[in-house]
Each structure stands twice: as C-alpha cells, then as structure tokens.
C-alpha cells in the first residue's frame, strides 16, 4: 500500500515517504514514449566513482555509468554491461532507486532510469571514449575530506542529482521524478524514500 500520491510515470509498490517536492510549474509535462535506462555507482570507503561524460547526452556533466536498456536485456544486465563498457569494471550491483525524467524540449521520450550501486568492484578502472572516471569524497561539508579528493561536484551534474544522491549515499531506496528545462534547470520535482 502506498501512503502518498506519486507523479505520473512512477510505478511502485510499498510505502513511500516523500522527502522533496517543488517547482514553479503546476503541471507535470506530458510524455508519450518511455525508454528504459540504467545508472550505476560504486561507493566505498568514503568515496564515490563518477564519470565525466565526454560526448552525447549529458556531455560535460558528471554522472554514474549507464545507458539504454537493450530489448534483449533486463535493467540489471544492462547496468552491468554499461559499467563494463564505460568504466572497464565489474561489480555486484544492487538496485537502489528508480527515477523518471521528462525534458521540456526533448519530446522524443521520457527516461525511466533504474539506479544501481555496489560497494566493491573488480578489474581496472579505465577512461573510455564516453566517460572519464574520477573518485569524489562523500564526506559532508565541514567534515574531514579524504586526502585531496574533491567533494561531489553537484554544480557539474544534472540538477536533480542533489535531491536523491544523499539517499543513495545513505543506502536508502528511493524513487522520484524531475521535469527539466533544456538548460538543466528543474521545472517540477518529487522524490520519496521507499520504506517497505
């Protein structure tokens, strides 16, 4: 049973506790098609692995490693493949969240993104044509930083990330939707923690 009203596009079971919602827009943007995507993060010993997107969608932003789910794949299989293709590593990925994005000036499709996380990985992290991997400290402002590692670069990430990344770092399953304008500003958003 759900205790809250989730926005269109969000599919869920269990109890949701809303943690953030807002935006100037009164309506959720309409969408026709939905495409499945993945996004995977390695979080270990006070640091998180992000990749600088060198080309294509989201170019110039830091993000996890992911992409489209191919027709013959489950999201978990796609997440493992994309992590290998974009960072050169394998990891015991766990599902930790689901996000739904609609871009105002991109009417082709909405993004349904399954988020995965792992505490370990095997292999050697490599830079690829698409991504330049880099570790960032997960320590909060004011706390001791790991060596010279920079904090998570929220100002160079999708604008929605600052809302759900703390839940990912705390290993608290989450779900949410954000409607974004073309300049990476948020028009409307809603994020919840999954408590069952």
Residues that bind ligand 6U4 (CB under 6 A): 37, 39, 56-58, 63, 66-68, 101, 111, 113, 158, 160-161, 178, 180
Surface-to-core class of residue 153, CB atoms within 10 Å of its CB (0-12 exposed, 13-18 middle, 19+ buried):
middle
Measured from the CB atom, the residue of 106 and 139 that comes closer to ligand 6U4 is 106
Least distance (Å) between residue 181 CB and ligand 6U4: 11
User: What is the chain's length?
Assistant: 196
CA 139 to chain centre: 19
Least distance (Å) between residue 157 CB and ligand 6U4: 7
Of 173, 149, 186, 152, give the one whose Cα is nearest residue 51. 152
CA 97 to chain centre: 8
Task: Give me the residue whose beta carbon is nearest to ligand 6U4.
Answer: 67
Measured from the CB atom, the residue of 101 and 135 that comes closer to ligand 6U4 is 101
Least distance (Å) between residue 195 CB and ligand 6U4: 23
**What's the rounded Cα separation, in Å, for the pair 61 and 53?**
6
Q: What is the dihedral of CA 180, 73, 164, 155, to 10 degrees?
A: -60
Least distance (Å) between residue 103 CB and ligand 6U4: 8
Measured from the CB atom, the residue of 15 and 36 that comes closer to ligand 6U4 is 36
Least distance (Å) between residue 139 CB and ligand 6U4: 21
Measured from the CB atom, the residue of 80 and 180 that comes closer to ligand 6U4 is 180
Could you tell me which residues come within 8 angstroms of residue 51 by beta carbon, excluding any fewer than 6 positions away?
62, 63, 64, 65, 86, 87, 130, 131, 132, 133, 134
Measured from the CB atom, the residue of 56 and 71 that comes closer to ligand 6U4 is 56
């Amino acid at each position: 049973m759900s205790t809250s009203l989730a926005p269109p596009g969000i599919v869920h079971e269990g109890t949701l506790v809303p943690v953030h919602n807002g935006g100037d827009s009164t309506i959720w943007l309409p969408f026709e098609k939905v495409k499945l995507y993945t996004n995977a993060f390695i979080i270990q010993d006070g640091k998180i692995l992000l990749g600088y997107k060198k080309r294509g969608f989201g170019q110039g932003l830091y993000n996890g490693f992911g992409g489209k789910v191919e027709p013959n794949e489950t999201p978990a299989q796609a997440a493992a493949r994309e992590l290998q293709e974009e960072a050169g590593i394998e990891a015991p990925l766990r599902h930790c969240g689901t996000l739904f994005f609609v871009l105002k000036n991109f009417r082709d499709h909405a993004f349904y993104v399954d988020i995965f996380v792992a505490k370990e990985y095997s292999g050697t992290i490599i830079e690829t044509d698409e991504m330049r991997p880099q570790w960032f400290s997960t320590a909060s402002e004011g706390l001791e930083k790991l060596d010279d590692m920079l904090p998570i670069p929220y100002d160079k990430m999708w604008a929605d990330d600052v809302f759900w990344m703390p839940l990912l770092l705390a290993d608290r399953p989450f779900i949410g939707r954000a409607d974004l304008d073309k300049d990476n500003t948020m028009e409307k958003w809603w994020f919840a923690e999954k408590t069952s």
